[in-house]
């Protein structure tokens, strides 16, 4: 019996959902597992290898269409070059198909994202070297024709990074990214309109400071909101740029934060060391140079002994600070972000209504530094917010507090507002990288990474209105040698779930991608 067969036999016998995360340890493989609503009654099918079989694979993204089909995109080492691959899950054609290269070739390509429109077409975006700079490319997937030819959609002025994509209900897409222009990282946006194609990249920020971590969202009227950070003076400020669909123009950027931060006493040298080691990347002006080095390192090599895989670096730096935006049917826009208050990095929210943006308010649990703030919204306008926050916990009355990173959840109802922040993780060790989705209107699923001894495992907690939050459970195999990061999750309209993570069964083997479906 092979190692893979043994692992999957254990899955069947214990009826466990394998939802893990990736790449944190030497023993990591990128796997995809899909089952209906994580049901313990699901019947597991024989797993299939769905990658290209060429080398290590990292950095995944997945999305469902309205028909129950899915696309996963990832980067995989092929003949010494990282290429972008896509694989389809087709519910009426036996599940996963053959992976295909969708990048522009022949040089390194990294960090792919994918999103569907309302009729089953999709767009994948990624960054790829043209020999001089990294550019942002897009490849259209047409439902009855497949993948088309990739095209560059950035401005071509310098290295580009930080790309994100979103669709609206009319089939229009918005892509945002950072790109160097005259030595400064500016925030750019390019719109895709179904019949007209790409409209061209335009800078949507102002000022001389670098811009970072843009995140886009459409409202229900077709307007676009982009939240991002800008370097100003000695600090980072949070801005919103808005595209007016009727006027067809980008408005002047609006600064959400006031720029008045009083620096309080901190052990700066200790925290700076943590940033250098990638443990607690505290995003404030004094540590910005260290974090920028990690985000824009460019080499994409990693040290296995220090757990510096590409997905690990993403999770501890870029992913940790990317903001989030959601909109409801009434036209309200909810923005969530982290911001240094002079002592701690706090979680904030601001809301856009007819009279403009509200003043940002703290939304976290009023503890230590906050990272990985993520939000999901359902059709009723209810919001599930998750974030990781450092918390001091006294084990006994005679011991000093133990500081650990905990996963918190906070729920919003249009009728009653925000509820209390609750810790929903498994306790014991540090947890980070939460992802949250609604599965229908009444169920919330949160998955995250949590340390166990010397490896990282994937945990999950579900919220059901009739029951509230359940107990955090580990949702991967009982093999203590496996660990990971790079967590992704998505739900189809009929309740089918796919979770993606990276995993490796032995040091000698490459990182592989498997798919396991349940019916």
Q: Give residue for tokens 């040091």.
A: 507
Tokens 């222009």 correspond to 181
Domains of the chain: 109-260 (2.120.10.10)
CA-to-CA dists, residue 318 to 70, 215, 240, 345, 449, angstroms: 26, 12, 19, 15, 16
Q: How many residues does the chain have?
A: 519
CA distances in angstroms from 441 to 354, 445, 461, 465, 488, listed in the order given: 26, 11, 16, 9, 20
Q: What is the pLDDT of residue 1?
A: 44
Query: Which of 211-215, 382-386, 463-467 is modeled with the greatest confidence?
Result: 382-386
Per-residue pLDDT tens digits for 54-65: 998 888 898 999
How far is it, in rounded angstroms, from Cα 254 to Cα 242?
A: 9
Task: Decide if pLDDT at 272 tops 60.
Answer: no
| pLDDT at position 5 over 70 | no
**DSSP H or E run through 146:** strand 146-147
How far is Cα 35 from Cα 42, in angstroms, rounded to an integer? 7
The answer to whether 462 and 445 are in contact (CB under 8 A) is yes
* Model pLDDT, residue 270: 59
More confident residue, 39 or 442: 442
Least confident of 130-139, 176-185, 255-264: 255-264
Lowest mean pLDDT among 128-137, 341-350, 394-403, 421-430: 394-403
Please say whether the dihedral angle defined by the alpha carbons of residues 8, 503, 27 and 51, taken in this order, is positive or negative. Answer: positive
165 or 312, which is more confident: 165
Specify the pLDDT at position 194.
86
Residue pLDDT, tens place only, 491-509: 888 888 877 777 666 667 7
Give the helix/strand (H/E) hosting 137.
strand 134-142
CB 18 within 8 A of CB 490: no
For 518, which DSSP code?
B
Q: How confident is the model at residue 200 (pLDDT cuts 50, 70, 90)?
A: very high
């Amino acid at each position: 019996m092979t190692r893979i067969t043994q692992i999957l036999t254990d899955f069947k016998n214990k009826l466990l959902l394998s939802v893990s995360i990736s790449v944190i340890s030497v023993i990591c493989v990128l796997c995809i597992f899909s089952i209906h609503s994580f049901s313990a009654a699901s019947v597991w099918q024989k797993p299939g290898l769905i990658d290209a079989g060429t080398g290590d694979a990292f950095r995944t993204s997945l999305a469902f269409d309205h028909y129950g089909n899915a696309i996963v995109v990832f980067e995989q080492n092929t003949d010494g070059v990282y290429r972008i691959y896509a694989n389809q899950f087709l519910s009426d054609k036996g599940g996963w198909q053959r992976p295909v290269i969708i990048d522009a070739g022949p040089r390194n390509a990294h960090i792919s994202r994918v999103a569907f429109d309302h009729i089953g077409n999709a767009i994948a975006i990624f960054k790829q070297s043209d020999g001089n700079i990294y550019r942002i490319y897009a490849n259209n997937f047409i439902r009855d024709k497949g993948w088309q030819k990739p095209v560059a959609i950035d401005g071509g002025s310098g290295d580009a990074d930080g790309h994100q994509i979103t669709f609206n209900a009319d089939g229009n897409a918005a892509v945002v990214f950072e790109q160097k222009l005259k030595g400064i990282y500016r925030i750019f946006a390019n719109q895709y309109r179904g019949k007209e194609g790409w409209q061209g990249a335009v800078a949507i920020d102002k000022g001389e400071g670098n811009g970072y971590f843009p995140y886009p969202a459409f409202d229900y009227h077709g307007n676009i909101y982009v939240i991002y950070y800008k370097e100003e003076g000695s600090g980072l400020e949070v801005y919103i740029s808005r595209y007016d669909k009727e006027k067809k123009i980008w408005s002047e950027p609006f600064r959400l934060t006031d720029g008045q931060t009083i620096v309080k006493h901190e052990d700066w040298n200790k925290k700076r060391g943590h940033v250098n080691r990638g443990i607690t990347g505290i995003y404030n002006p004094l540590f910005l140079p260290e974090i920028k080095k990690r985000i824009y390192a460019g080499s994409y090599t990693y040290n296995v002994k220090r757990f510096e895989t590409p997905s690990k670096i993403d999770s501890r730096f870029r992913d940790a600070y990317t903001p989030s935006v959601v909109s409801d049917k009434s036209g309200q826009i909810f923005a969530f972000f982290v911001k240094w208050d002079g002592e701690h990095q706090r979680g904030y929210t601001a809301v856009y209504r007819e009279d403009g943006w509200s003043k940002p308010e703290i939304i976290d649990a009023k503890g230590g530094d906050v990272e990985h703030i993520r939000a999901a919204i359902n059709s009723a306008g209810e919001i599930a917010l998750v974030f990781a926050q450092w918390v001091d916990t006294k084990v006994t009355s005679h011991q000093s507090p133990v500081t650990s990173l905990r996963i918190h959840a906070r729920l919003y109802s249009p009728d009653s507002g925000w509820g209390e922040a609750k810790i929903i993780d498994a306790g014991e060790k540090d947890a980070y990288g939460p992802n949250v989705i609604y599965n229908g209107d009444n169920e919330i699923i949160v998955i995250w990474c949590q340390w166990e001894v010397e490896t990282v495992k994937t945990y999950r907690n579900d919220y059901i209105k009739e029951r509230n939050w359940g107990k955090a459970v580990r949702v991967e195999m009982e093999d203590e040698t496996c660990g990971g990061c790079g967590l992704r999750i998505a739900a189809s309209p009929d309740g089918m779930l796919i979770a993606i993570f990276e995993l490796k069964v032995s040091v000698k083997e490459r990182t592989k991608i498997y798919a396991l479906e349940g019916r």
